[in-house]
Amino acid sequence: MNVLLINPPFYFPKFIYGAIPLLLGQLKGNNIQADALDLNYEFFYDILSSEYLNKTIKELKNLYFFNKYFNNIKIPNFNDKYCLSQEQIKKQNKLIKSFIFNKKEKIENIINNAQTIFRLMSANYNENHFKIFYIALSLAFLPYYPSKINMPSVVEPYWSESNSLYSFTYEDLINRCSNTKRNIYVKYFKNKIKKLNLKQYNVIGITIPFNECLYPALTLGKILKEVTNAKVIIGGVQVNLIKESFINHPDMFGKYFDALMTGEGEKAIVEYIRYVEGKIPIENISGLIYKKNNKIHQNKIEFINDITSVKLPSYDGIKLENYYKPHIRLEFSKGCYWGKCSFCYTSKQKRYHVINPVKAVDMVETLMKKYNINRFTILDDALNPNFAEKFADEIIKRQLKINYNCFFRFDSSLTFEKLIKLKESGLNGIFFGVESASERILKLMNKNIDIKTAEKMLKDSYNAGIVNSVAFILNFPTETEEDLLKTINFIKRNRAYISNFNINCFEFLKNSPILNFKDDLGITNIQDKEEFSYKLSFEAPGISRKETMKIFKENNIL
């Protein structure tokens, strides 16, 4: 049995997504032959090579000369929404001309240096590198116009690809996966599968961590089903959010994938391999969604309560040096010790299981020695302060020299003295989710955060020498301008103690527990307009996004 786990495009590869090494560790820990492939990183590296970009230049020149006088192209049929209009063709021509004919020397310089710049971004992530990277990536995608890259800034974490011809409806998604003229991944994946000899694998698993990865992952799954004999399974956060959409389209099973993995993959991935080996029935695989006798079946999710049964993540074969500030990503608990936030998917699980702090340090020390990496990110939804203190005590006791980041709630038990100890143990950065500085909105969110405590903790952690990152959710239902100004004033008062902050607008996630509170929040007209999107459209009272952004800009926050 030979298994391959794939991390697909598209997001900037600062790191390999944590699910891949975690699942790889479970397979290897159960004596199953397995490999990991970060196809996201490979994709960036390959399309930014001078060879690929020079081929793109030739292709664009042909497109320009063919399209210039609307010769040798299909005249748009405006009943076909996947065909470029004449205006879109003219715009594409203008972009091609600007890229290739007006910036010849600049483009040649970018082509010759793009791949090197991409690698340098891992070590020195600066604005100049970003600009070159953005131009090169835009060039690579230009033949597939109106597909384009959205990268607002060097620090923006949510870079993505968009295409005005497509939405996340079933029809658009299926068309997009097969459209060689609009989908950069079709030709790329076919060549990559051949080059890497992926036909050697019996089972191939693909994770879908972000919505931006959905159509590349399904494109890949479709091609793998066509050119290999492997069982193809897909899983990840997005699959859990939109699993009903897949269930409603049984024709996708067997064509794009063989099964969906929902719930906690650490358990299910091993069980699936045992099924393929003929050792257990398919009905015994936790959370598996599959097609049998022309019907879709959904197995019950069995959550992992004994976290000590989870094997160490494996980074074997993964080149950590490829990534920006290479680090190992760890999880010490299942669920969240607070677990009551009205908008959070984790709140539905109603559980919290955490490993013994000494065992947690054993994990850190083992991985540190094995991979010669001393930088870690702890992925727990919110680290329990009591656990954190004991974890820090053990790190200090063993005199381990590590650098780690984690997520904390604004919990008053996380005192200045504890923060000093955490810093001594190697804690470098904390990510806090304050969401709002309005007591009324916080109550609706069920965050149980006291604003004065939050301000004190920001100041304390800053004075302890810890880097603070803070996240906010704007436009929560019923939010008023008064609520918004409280958040803005909170940022202004505490900006000296905040290294960076993430501003997000509220999104109604599918399967979110906020469905239970929709009447209290005045949420109406809930619609699933794009069934393969992770969010629902809705109407709710409160200040508009447009007005929110205007107020933020007026206050020099954005």
Q: How many domains does the chain divide into?
A: 3
The pLDDT score that the predictor gives to residue 236 is 93
DSSP state of 199: G
Tokens of 259: 């099964």
Task: Give strand ranges (E) for 11-127.
Answer: 33-38
The pLDDT score that the predictor gives to residue 538 is 93
| 155 and 196 belong to one structural domain | no
| 114 and 209 belong to one structural domain | no
Extract the residue ranges of the chain whose pLDDT is less than 70: 68-79, 104-105, 122-126, 152-158, 347-349, 558
Give the three-state DSSP class for 152: coil
Asked, for residue 179, whether it belongs to a domain, the answer is no
Asked, for residue 315, whether it belongs to a domain, the answer is no
The pLDDT score that the predictor gives to residue 118 is 84
Q: Are 263 and 302 in contact (CB under 8 A)?
A: yes
Q: Element (H or E) spanning 503, and its range?
A: strand 500-505
Asked, for residue 168, whether it belongs to a domain, the answer is no
Asked, for residue 307, whether it belongs to a domain, the answer is no
List the CATH number of the domain containing 362: 3.20.20.70
Asked, for residue 322, whether it belongs to a domain, the answer is no
The pLDDT score that the predictor gives to residue 119 is 79
Q: Are 236 and 8 in contact (CB under 8 A)?
A: no
| 488 and 444 belong to one structural domain | yes
Give dist(CA 456, CA 319) in Å, integer: 40
The pLDDT score that the predictor gives to residue 326 is 84
Asked, for residue 174, whether it belongs to a domain, the answer is no
Q: Crossing angle, helix 416-425 and helix 385-398, to 10 degrees?
A: 40
Q: Crossing angle, helix 214-227 and helix 170-178, to 10 degrees?
A: 60
CA dihedral 319→322→326→329, nearest 10 degrees, is -60
| 13 and 59 belong to one structural domain | no
| 361 and 485 belong to one structural domain | yes
Which residues are 298's β-sheet partners? 289
| 523 and 450 belong to one structural domain | yes
Residues 6+ apart with CB under 8 A from 182: 82, 144, 147, 163, 165, 166, 176
The pLDDT score that the predictor gives to residue 78 is 54
Q: Among 129, 145, 162, identify where a domain stops.
A: 162
Asked, for residue 499, whether it belongs to a domain, the answer is yes
The pLDDT score that the predictor gives to residue 172 is 95
Give dist(CA 103, CA 126) in Å, integer: 23
Q: Is 461 left (phi over 0), alpha (psi -120 to 50) or beta?
A: alpha
| 20 and 98 belong to one structural domain | no
Q: Element (H or E) spanning 361, and its range?
A: helix 357-371
Give dist(CA 406, CA 376) in Å, integer: 9
Pairing of strands 203-207, 524-527: unpaired
User: Mind listing the pLDDT tens digit for each residue in 289-346?
Assistant: 999 999 999 999 998 888 888 999 999 999 888 887 788 999 999 888 888 888 877 7
Residues 6+ apart with CB under 8 A from 230: 4, 198, 199, 201, 202, 203, 204, 224
Give dist(CA 258, CA 42) in Å, integer: 25
**Own/partner pairs for 46-49, CB < 8 Å, 24+ apart?**
46/188, 46/192, 47/137, 47/140, 47/184, 47/188, 48/114, 48/115, 48/117, 48/118, 48/133, 48/136, 48/137, 48/140, 49/114, 49/115
Q: Are 328 and 367 in contact (CB under 8 A)?
A: yes
Q: Which domain holds residue 235?
A: 2-43+187-298
Pairing of strands 33-38, 259-261: unpaired
Q: Are 111 and 57 in contact (CB under 8 A)?
A: yes
The pLDDT score that the predictor gives to residue 160 is 81
| 99 and 243 belong to one structural domain | no
Asked, for residue 341, whether it belongs to a domain, the answer is yes
Give dist(CA 136, CA 133) in Å, integer: 5
Q: How far is CA 49 from CA 111, 133, 137, 492, in A?
A: 7, 12, 11, 44
User: Mind listing the pLDDT tens digit for each residue in 157-174?
Assistant: 567 888 989 999 999 999
DSSP structure string for 153-178: -TT-S--EEE-TT--SSHHHHHHHHH
Q: Are 243 and 262 in contact (CB under 8 A)?
A: yes
Give the three-state DSSP class for 428: strand
